[in-house]
């Protein structure tokens, strides 16, 4: 692993670290401090991947992860964790050598409670027990974790990003230098004033901490966390300012994890949230039709046409997003937690009243995203012409899958089975017509990404995000 990684892209690990240290203005002898905020599946894997790559450079790099303390591991998970440990000779030996094995025996027997932050120190993420990670340095005090961090990795759900980073912002008030923040979060909020627009996690972080957007980047897939840690081939895009995205792409790149860079931060970030919306429906359709290839293909055609339609509102050159959007959607439909959630709702193993934070899986980001996109696209001020050309309608009227997911998941006025009704509706337009409607008219609405401001006399003007 080490020799391959050293030769990747012609730069050694030390050279990549030196490049980042120079950009951050680090003095000789001052350790580069990387902190993950949040320890879900992807966040834990991402930090563990950095620990694997740079952990041996102790004099140059320190890698840590913060998660809230006190979250107990339930008895069923403790028993499963014990089975995983005993099925992996390398993991079993490591725990015995550090005198940590006994606590997992006791946890399995119910003689003691295991905690999520405790097992993470031994390399076990509560949302991904089947994939043992390398041991991680875990901090449960947020101020201690972030106050002098150079690079912060945000892997919190979008619904938790703002409050946590508002707290972080208080700790950073006296900072003389700005950290760099890489957000892995997928999800959006809808804001309706001064005009309807989307608020993304990177925007939430900037507002909460006063860190300029130039120092905040988004990194997205397509990838599956466990496969990345198991060194199966994967790729990602890091999006943001040129000053940081190119050196960070080099810094993060590994032989099995290719990182490209892109300037379009906000639109890629929004697309990362949008595909989770339709993944839930894909899980429902699969479970309802006994994994019928035809039914899933019909659903894919309709949901991708809706995503492409929405993309034309969000991006001036939407064709540039087609590849990343479809690739990320494909992998999420195949193996992501949102599709899993839709499947389990149909099978009766989950209920909507259980909420969207599921034990062993974490936050189901698609649920809040359904509400955000529906709320945004139903606004009359964003009206578009109906494909028949005879009346203006709110954009959501041309997104029947999104409307049905909203009725199922948010309003709870339909059962999951109704997703098939949306597919079989005789009034549903051929997906091609929806795409043609987007391509044939000037659909781009910069205000949807907050690219507007209100002047003193009330005039709305477009500005850069």
Cα distances (angstroms) measured from residue 377 to each of 188, 196, 438: 13, 9, 14
DSSP state of 231: T
Closest-CA residue to 230 (of 55, 361, 67, 48): 48
Alpha-carbon distance of 312 to 228, in angstroms, equals 31
Q: What is the pLDDT of residue 207?
A: 94
Please tell me the number of Cα atoms within 13 Å of 235 on its side-chain side: 9
Bond preceding residue 6 cis, omega within 30 of 0: no
DSSP state of 148: T
Q: What is the pLDDT of residue 5?
A: 45
Angle at alpha carbon of residue 62, lines to 58 and 239, rounded to 5°? 130
Alpha-carbon distance of 61 to 64, in angstroms, equals 10
All domains of the chain in start order, with CATH: 2-70+137-265 (3.40.50.720), 75-114 (no CATH), 270-452 (1.10.1040.10)
Q: What is the pLDDT of residue 9?
A: 58
Radius of gyration from C-alpha coordinates of the chain: 23
Q: What is the pLDDT of residue 226?
A: 87
Written in H, E and C, the secondary structure of 36-102 is EECCCHHHHHHHHHHHHHHCCCCCCEEEEEECCCCCECCHHHHHHHHHHHHHCHHHHHHHHHCCCHH
Alpha-carbon distance of 325 to 335, in angstroms, equals 16
Q: What is the pLDDT of residue 320?
A: 72
Each residue's pLDDT, cut to its tens digit, for the chain (465 residues) gives 344 444 455 678 888 999 999 999 988 889 999 999 999 999 999 999 999 999 899 899 999 999 999 999 999 999 999 999 999 999 999 999 999 999 999 999 989 999 999 999 999 999 999 999 999 999 999 999 999 999 999 999 888 999 999 999 999 998 888 999 999 998 888 888 888 888 899 999 999 999 999 999 999 877 888 888 888 988 899 999 999 999 999 999 988 899 998 888 877 888 888 889 999 999 999 999 999 999 999 899 888 888 888 888 887 777 777 777 778 888 888 878 899 999 999 999 999 999 888 887 888 889 999 999 999 999 888 888 777 767 888 889 889 999 999 999 999 999 999 999 888 765 566 777 777 777 766 677 878 877 544 334 333 333 333
- By annotation, the residues acting in catalysis are 275
Residue bearing tokens 């897939």: 221
Q: What is the pLDDT of residue 457?
A: 38
Q: What is the pLDDT of residue 464?
A: 34
The answer to whether 362 and 40 have CB atoms below 8 angstroms apart is yes
Q: What is the pLDDT of residue 211?
A: 95
Closest-CA residue to 229 (of 257, 258, 259): 257
Q: What is the pLDDT of residue 451?
A: 58
């Amino acid at each position: 692993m080490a020799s391959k990684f050293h030769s990747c892209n012609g730069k050694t690990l030390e050279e990549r670290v030196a490049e980042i240290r120079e950009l951050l203005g680090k003095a000789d002898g001052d350790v580069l401090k990387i902190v993950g905020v949040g320890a879900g599946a992807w966040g834990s894997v991402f930090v563990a991947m950095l620990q694997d790559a740079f952990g041996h450079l102790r004099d140059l790099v320190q890698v840590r992860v913060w998660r809230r303390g006190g979250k107990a591991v339930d008895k069923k998970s403790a028993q499963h964790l014990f089975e995983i440990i005993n099925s992996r000779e390398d993991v079993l030996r490591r725990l015995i050598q550090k005198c940590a094995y006994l606590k997992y025996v006791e946890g399995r027997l119910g003689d003691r409670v295991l905690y999520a932050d405790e097992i993470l120190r031994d390399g076990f993420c509560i949302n991904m027990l089947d994939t043992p990670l390398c041991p991680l340095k875990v901090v449960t005090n947020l101020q201690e974790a972030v106050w002098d961090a150079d690079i912060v990795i945000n892997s919190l759900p979008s619904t938790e990003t703002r409050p946590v980073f508002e707290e972080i912002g208080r700790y950073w008030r006296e900072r003389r230098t700005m950290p760099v923040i890489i957000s892995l979060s997928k999800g959006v909020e809808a804001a309706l004033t001064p005009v309807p627009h989307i608020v993304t996690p990177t925007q939430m972080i900037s507002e909460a901490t006063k860190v300029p957007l130039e120092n905040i980047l988004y990194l997205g897939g397509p990838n599956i966390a466990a496969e990345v840690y198991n060194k199966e081939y994967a790729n990602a895009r890091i999006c943001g300012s040129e000053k940081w995205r190119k050196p960070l792409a080099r810094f993060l790149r590994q032989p099995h994890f290719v990182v490209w860079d892109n300037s379009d931060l906000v639109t890629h970030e929004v697309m990362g949230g949008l595909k989770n919306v339709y993944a839930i429906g894909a899980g429902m359709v699969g479970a309802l039709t006994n994994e019928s290839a035809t039914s899933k293909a019909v659903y894919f055609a309709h949901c991708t046409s809706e995503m492409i339609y929405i993309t034309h509102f969000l991006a001036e050159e939407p064709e540039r997003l087609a590849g990343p959007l479809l690739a990320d959607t494909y992998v999420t439909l195949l193996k992501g937690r949102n599709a899993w959630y839709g499947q389990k709702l149909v099978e009766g193993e989950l209920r909507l009243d259980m909420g969207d934070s599921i034990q062993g899986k974490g936050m189901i980001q698609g649920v809040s995203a359904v509400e955000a996109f529906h709320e945004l696209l139903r606004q009359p001020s964003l009206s578009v012409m109906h494909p028949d050309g005879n009346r203006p309608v709110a954009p959501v009227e041309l997104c029947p899958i999104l409307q049905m997911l909203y009725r199922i998941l948010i309003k709870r006025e339909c059962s999951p089975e109704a997703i098939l009704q949306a597919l079989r509706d005789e009034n549903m337009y051929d997906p091609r017509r929806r795409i043609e409607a987007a391509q044939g008219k000037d659909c781009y609405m910069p205000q949807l990404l907050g690219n507007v401001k209100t002047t003193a006399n009330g005039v709305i003007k477009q500005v850069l995000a």
